[in-house]
């Protein structure tokens, strides 16, 4: 693609950024739709985040995604924030408005729930969430928005789960990591938001005997696509949803805003992103 003076330019800021699949993902959609534009990986160190943001705005970028370790810093740097960014306390999508404002949004909760919806309609009810990092926070926002009556939050470091629960009120109850087996009774959804099960990490050590076979099991880990958790859940008859779709769907709102086309998550896109 030869860029023109009218090209729409966006990118992803991370440190490091080399592992990010976002350039491949957005690049696919740019090609698919024949868009005059580009999406660029931007290695930005934490100390230079604000300087880089101002520079990109001055250079006429339409916006940027932000990934680790910048999501909280981006939250503080934006002039306006959408409701999910405020609830999650982090920003993953920034748009430079024509009038000069820097708008921050968080599309992780949207991406999480869209991914589940592509496979199955979650009826609400009690959900079990493993992990209490940034991803867990976005997942709690999504679950509350989609009709959770109770979220059982389980994290190795209990204090971190308590801090998250404190921000959301009584809908979240905190369980000890050692009680992760017992917390599953009558749950309609179980999500792993820890890094356990990822290539190079130990598997998530969890028995699913107490989980109803009607429950949905989702892992946000997508490398490998079929984690030990998902294999175990599938074998006992649960509906399983892998983690790749969350990454793909969270990218849709930013792409539409910056490039003016609503993109689709297709099987071909999944294959293309996994090939990287
Ligand atoms: P993210 O923003 O992607 O959620 P994170 O903030 O680094 O990433 O959170 C990683 C999650 O994986 C945390 O819940 C972490 O538990 P702690 O809060 O106790 O650190 C969890 N995790 C990572 N390694 C783990 C392990 N070996 N056993 C249990 N939990 C683990």
Residue pLDDT, tens place only, 238-251: 999 999 999 999 99
Which pLDDT belongs to residue 211? 97
State the catalytic residue, choosing from 6, 71, 117, 178.
71
What are the residues facing 190 on neighbouring strands?
A: 128, 217
- Which ligand 1 atom is the nearest neighbour of the CA of 135? 4
Distance 160 CA to ligand 1 centre (A): 10
Q: What's the whole-number mean pLDDT along residues 67-92?
A: 98
Share of the chain above pLDDT 90, in %: 98
The alpha carbon of 54 and the centre of ligand 1 are apart by a number of angstroms equal to 32
Q: How many Å apart are CA 64 and CA 34, to the nearest integer?
A: 20
Give the mean pLDDT of the chain. Answer: 97
At 276 the pLDDT is 77
How many angstroms does the Cα of residue 55 sit away from the middle of ligand 1? 33
Whole-number pLDDT of residue 1: 74
* Ligand 1: nearest atom to the Cα of 220: 3
d(Cα 183, Cα 260) in Å, to the nearest integer? 44
Neighbour count for residue 257 (Cβ, 10 Å):
16
Q: What percent of the chain shows pLDDT beyond 70?
A: 100
Whole-model pTM?
A: 0.97
Q: CB within 6 Å of ligand 1 — which residues? A: 131-136, 155-157, 160, 193-196
Residues 6+ apart with CB under 8 A from 176: 154, 158
Mutate to test the pocket of ligand 1, among 90, 91, 195, 197 (most ligand atoms within 8 A of CB): 195
d(CA 152, CA 191): 10
- Does 95 score more than 90 pLDDT? yes
| pLDDT in the model for residue 182 | 87
Work out the average pLDDT over 118-145: 97
> Is residue 6 among the annotated active site residues?
no
| pLDDT band at 222; cut points 50, 70, 90 | very high
Q: Report the distance separating Cα 176 and Cα 101, nearest Å.
A: 43
- Residue 253: its H or E element: helix 252-259
What is the model's pLDDT at position 165?
97
- Tokens at 254, concatenated: 């930013």
Range 120-124 average pLDDT: 97
Distance CA 20, CA 230 (A): 23
């Amino acid at each position: 693609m030869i860029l023109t003076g009218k090209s729409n330019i966006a990118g992803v800021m991370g440190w490091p950024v080399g592992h990010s699949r976002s350039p491949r993902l957005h690049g696919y959609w740019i090609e698919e739709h024949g868009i005059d534009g580009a999406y660029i990986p931007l290695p930005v160190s934490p100390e230079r985040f604000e300087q880089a943001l101002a520079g990109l705005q001055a250079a006429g970028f339409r916006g940027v995604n932000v990934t680790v370790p910048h999501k909280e810093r981006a939250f503080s740097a934006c002039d306006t924030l959408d409701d999910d960014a405020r609830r999650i306390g982090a920003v993953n999508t920034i748009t430079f408005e024509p009038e000069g404002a820097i708008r921050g949004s968080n599309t992780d909760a949207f991406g999480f729930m869209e991914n589940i919806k592509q496979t199955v309609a979650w009826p609400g009810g009690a959900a079990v969430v493993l992990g209490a990092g940034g991803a867990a926070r976005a997942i709690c926002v999504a679950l509350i928005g989609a009709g959770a009556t109770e979220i059982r939050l389980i994290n190795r470091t209990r204090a971190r789960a308590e801090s998250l629960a404190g921000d959301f009120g009584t809908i979240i109850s905190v369980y000890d990591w050692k009680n992760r087996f017992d917390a599953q009774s009558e749950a309609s959804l179980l999500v792993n938001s820890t890094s356990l099960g990822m290539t190079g990490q130990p598997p998530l050590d969890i028995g699913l005997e107490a989980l109803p076979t009607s429950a949905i099991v989702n892992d946000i880990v997508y490398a490998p696509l079929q984690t030990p958790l998902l294999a175990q859940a599938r074998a006992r008859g649960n509906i399983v949803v892998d983690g790749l779709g969350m990454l793909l769907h969270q990218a849709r709102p930013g792409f539409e805003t910056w490039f003016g086309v609503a993109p689709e998550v297709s099987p071909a896109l999944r294959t293309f992103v996994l090939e990287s």
